[in-house]
Amino acid sequence: MKILITAGPTRESIDPVRFLSNRSTGKMGYALVWAAVEARHEVRLISGPVSLSAPVGVDVIYVLSAEDMLRAVQDNLEWCDLLIMSAAVSDWRPSSVSAVKLKKANMSGTLELERTPDVLQSIMSDKGERVFVGFAAETGDPVQEAKRKLVEKGLDLIVANDVAADDAGFAVDTNRVTLLFADGRREDWPLMSKVEVAKKLMMELGL
């Protein structure tokens, strides 16, 4: 099976020095890459800026912004049978990027933002027979919001996690996830390492 995985955060430039981003470290996405390689699948990774290494032999496409990530996903979509969007894509970017460092004396204290493209929604119409898996980063009960995203983003499965918990979400080695399938099935998995979640997810997908 050919698996395309996105991982890590995106960065949206403000000027040559500053950017907007989020707390994603790519741990869940890279664990998925290792699990997919271990299960002998062909893997391509589209990675935002992280300090992790991918397994030898995996094609890695490094991207910075949400726009770059969208382009990379579009370029590799036809190749894949399964897309796993575990990246934490920035939802907003500055309306304009300054080519020179902004000087505090000239800044008003307000940054004008615009929406970035939604990667999954942009590629929904090209899904075909491919399986699409998304992740939902939520604070509090993740299920209601994840259900909405499952439908709005045309997913077969969404993996929801409470990123506000100390032992789940960003920058930790463990995760506690709820799986919501398009056919209405729901599974609540106990606290596990991200490596275990990744391996179990591969099995869940029949891989």
**So which residues are the catalytic ones?**
22
The tokens of 197 are what? Answer: 């979640």
The tokens of 55 are what? Answer: 């397994």
68 near ligand CTP, rule: CB under 6 A: no
8 near ligand CTP, rule: CB under 6 A: no
Q: For ligand CTP, which stretch binds (CB under 6 A), given 99-107, 132-140, 170-178, 183-191?
A: 132-140
**Shortest distance, CB of residue 153 to ligand CTP, whole angstroms?**
6
CA distances from 132 to 75, 91, 95, 121, 150 (A): 16, 20, 30, 11, 10
Cα–Cα nearest to 61, from 81, 79, 38: 79
49 touches 23 (CB < 8 A): no
135 near ligand CTP, rule: CB under 6 A: yes
Site for ligand CTP, residues 16 to 55, rule: CB under 6 A: none
64 touches 73 (CB < 8 A): no
136 near ligand CTP, rule: CB under 6 A: yes
**Shortest distance, CB of residue 103 to ligand CTP, whole angstroms?**
30
Whichever of 64 and 102 has its CB closer to ligand CTP, that residue is 64
